[in-house]
Amino acid sequence: MNRRDAITRVGLLVGGTVIGAEAFLTGCKKSPEQLAAASAEFSPDTIAFLDEVGETILPASPASPGAKEAKIGEFMKAIVTDCYEEKEQTLFHTGIPKLNEAAQKKYSKDFMDLAAAEKHDLLVAVDSEMKEYNKNKKEGDPQHYFSLMKQLTLWGYFTSEPGSTKALRYLPVPGKFEGCIPYKKGDKAWAAT
């Protein structure tokens, strides 16, 4: 699968376009100073927060690992830092305190202090708010901050090793080279992908 296909599929999963896809497809062209400044926004606490958001969106189950195992916070850091434009980075970073404000408003606690069920209920409410916002937004209005977090969670998870090999059906293609597989006359040849 190439990058365009992956981005298209993630866009279909979240019901729209992937924010920052243009920078990702064209290649990230940031100076080392820009990368260092953008990376400074991601403290270990921020990455742990993003891991928790991702784990709430895609929790671990007996059948598959959760977003934490896919290191979703680190994935978000890499994409936001390396590929997002400054306005998208700002939108992403303002979403973290907004999510904490929503938790404070609803439960009088920070997001990280909520029980798993409370985190789930909060993100369902924020997701509904995002859908309403996106339905009524005008051209030129920014995306809802939660769009970024949700898209990056889905994209990062389903393209990670744990997500693609344990949560999805996985068949390595073309697989490893085995030069001594016996050939029987009439067998079909292997297709190259």
Structure confidence by residue, pLDDT tens digits, 5-58: 555 566 555 555 555 555 555 555 555 665 555 556 789 999 999 999 999 999
Q: Is 151 within the bounds of a domain? A: yes
Q: Is 78 within the bounds of a domain? A: yes
Q: Is 191 within the bounds of a domain? A: no
Q: Is 183 within the bounds of a domain? A: no
Q: How many domains does the structure of the chain reveal?
A: 1
Structure confidence by residue, pLDDT tens digits, 126-174: 999 999 999 999 988 999 999 999 999 999 998 888 888 888 767 666 6
* Res 186 pLDDT > 60: yes
Query: Which domain range does residue 14 map to?
Result: 3-167
- Tokens 């290649």 belong to 27
CA distance 53 to 48: 9
Give the per-residue pLDDT at 193: 34
Between 133 and 177, name the one with better pLDDT: 133
Q: Is 175 within the bounds of a domain? A: no
3-state secondary structure the chain: CCHHHHHHHHHHHHCCCCCCHHHHHHCCCCCHHHHHHHHCCCCHHHHHHHHHHHHHHCCCCCCCCCCCCCCHHHHHHHHHHHCCCHHHHHHHHHHHHHHHHHHHHHHCCCHHHCCHHHHHHHHHHHHHHHHHHHHHCCCCCCCCHHHHHHHHHHHHHHCCHHHHHHHCCCCCCCCCCCCCCCCCCCCCCCCCC
Q: Is 176 within the bounds of a domain? A: no
Q: What global pTM score does this model have?
A: 0.71
Mean pLDDT of 84-112: 94
* Res 99 pLDDT > 90: yes
CA distance 99 to 120: 12
With cut-offs at 50, 70 and 90, classify the pLDDT of residue 4: low
Q: Is 148 within the bounds of a domain? A: yes
Q: Is 178 within the bounds of a domain? A: no
